[in-house]
């Protein structure tokens, strides 16, 4: 019994070392000419059988690629699934779609030639955001790498939970200072510039939000810094997070900030904060 226990421990250590080594290698999923899913869950993802039950002892290391032979939505099973999309990676083993990244469109099966680099899209969004601000006679925002990292973590968390929510930000982990957060999902158009334009236009148009809170955050005259994160899901969309910050408030700014916060809660726009945007009403919306 003692020997068996020790053997299990050695096996576990070996697995961790192996998974870390693989994790340092970039995925080649976009280079395959057949459907592949790359494990995005770290350090590993579970496998499930044909009944949706977790297979004990079967783990796939993060950032490894697996050929996909089929798709299926699972209900019930050991994790009490509801319409959980899974990829078939062997005759009787399934990988959760929300713990992996596919190189194909799950709606059509069409292979995706490339997945736009997250950093490139963020840079394009910053350019477009500041172009919007300049159109409205506002100072451009400075990129903050810490806010970028924070926003990227937030986007990943939203993707993992599968829906948009400010919970976990406002009262728990938001940056110190005067801050705000924008979150949305937007179509992945597989072009950095188009993705950036679409994302900023969707935040500006702010459909279904009568107080236009996302627009007002982007055009807040008191914010000085911004960070952004973007994470693709498995349905042809991005989860996008913008985090705005003014690290410190000067005493003579307090009254103006209080007025702007009141304005954020109001429906629509009013003077002196009326705005315009040459890409307004051009967004492709999917929330």
pLDDT tens, 220-257?
A: 999 999 999 999 887 788 899 999 998 888 899 999 99
On whether residue 108 sits in a domain, the answer given is no
Structural domain harbouring 252? 121-280
- State the total domains in the chain: 2
On whether residue 126 sits in a domain, the answer given is yes
Q: In this structure, are 80 and 175 located in the same domain?
A: no
Q: In this structure, are 275 and 196 located in the same domain?
A: yes
Which residues, 6+ apart, have CB-to-CB distance to 252 below 8 Å? none
Give the Cα separation of 221 and 206 in Å (integer).
19
Q: In this structure, are 61 and 134 located in the same domain?
A: no
Q: In this structure, are 204 and 126 located in the same domain?
A: yes
On whether residue 7 sits in a domain, the answer given is no
State pLDDT tens for residues 54-87.
999 999 998 899 988 888 889 999 999 988 889 9
Domain end among 70, 102, 134: 102
Chain centroid to CA 267: 28
What average pLDDT is seen over the chain? Answer: 81
Looking at residue 232, its pLDDT comes to 87
On whether residue 75 sits in a domain, the answer given is yes
State pLDDT tens for residues 82-128.
888 899 998 899 999 889 888 877 766 667 655 455 667 888 999 99
Which residues, 6+ apart, have CB-to-CB distance to 34 below 8 Å? 67, 111
Q: Do the beta carbons of residue 121 and residue 192 sit within 8 Å?
A: yes
Q: In this structure, are 276 and 195 located in the same domain?
A: yes
Q: In this structure, are 166 and 194 located in the same domain?
A: yes
Looking at residue 110, its pLDDT comes to 66
On whether residue 84 sits in a domain, the answer given is yes
């Amino acid at each position: 019994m003692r020997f068996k226990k020790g053997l299990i421990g050695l096996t576990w250590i070996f697995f961790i070392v192996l998974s870390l080594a693989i994790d340092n290698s970039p995925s080649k999923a976009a280079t395959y000419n057949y459907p592949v899913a790359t494990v995005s869950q770290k350090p590993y993802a579970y496998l499930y059988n044909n009944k949706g039950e977790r297979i004990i002892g079967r783990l796939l290391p993060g950032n490894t690629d697996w050929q996909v032979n089929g798709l299926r939505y699972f209900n019930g099973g050991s994790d009490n699934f509801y319409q959980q999309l899974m990829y078939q990676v062997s005759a009787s083993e399934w990988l959760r779609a929300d713990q992996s990244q596919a190189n194909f469109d799950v709606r059509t099966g069409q292979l995706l030639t490339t997945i736009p680099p997250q950093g490139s899209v963020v840079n394009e969004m910053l350019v477009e955001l500041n172009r919007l601000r300049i159109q409205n006679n506002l100072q451009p925002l400075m990129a903050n790498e810490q806010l970028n990292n924070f926003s990227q973590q937030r986007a990943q968390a939203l993707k993992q939970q599968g829906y948009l929510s400010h919970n976990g930000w406002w009262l728990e982990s938001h940056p110190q200072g005067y801050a705000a957060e924008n979150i949305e999902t937007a179509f992945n158009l597989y072009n950095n510039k188009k993705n950036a334009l679409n994302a900023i236009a969707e935040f500006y148009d702010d459909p279904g939000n009568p107080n236009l809170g996302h627009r007002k955050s982007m055009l807040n005259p008191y914010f000085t810094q911004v960070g952004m994160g973007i994470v693709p899901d498995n349905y042809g969309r991005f989860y996008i997070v913008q985090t705005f910050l003014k690290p410190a408030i000067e005493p003579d700014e307090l009254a103006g900030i209080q007025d702007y916060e009141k304005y954020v809660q109001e429906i629509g726009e009013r003077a002196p904060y009326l705005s315009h945007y040459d890409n307004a009403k051009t967004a492709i919306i999917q929330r």
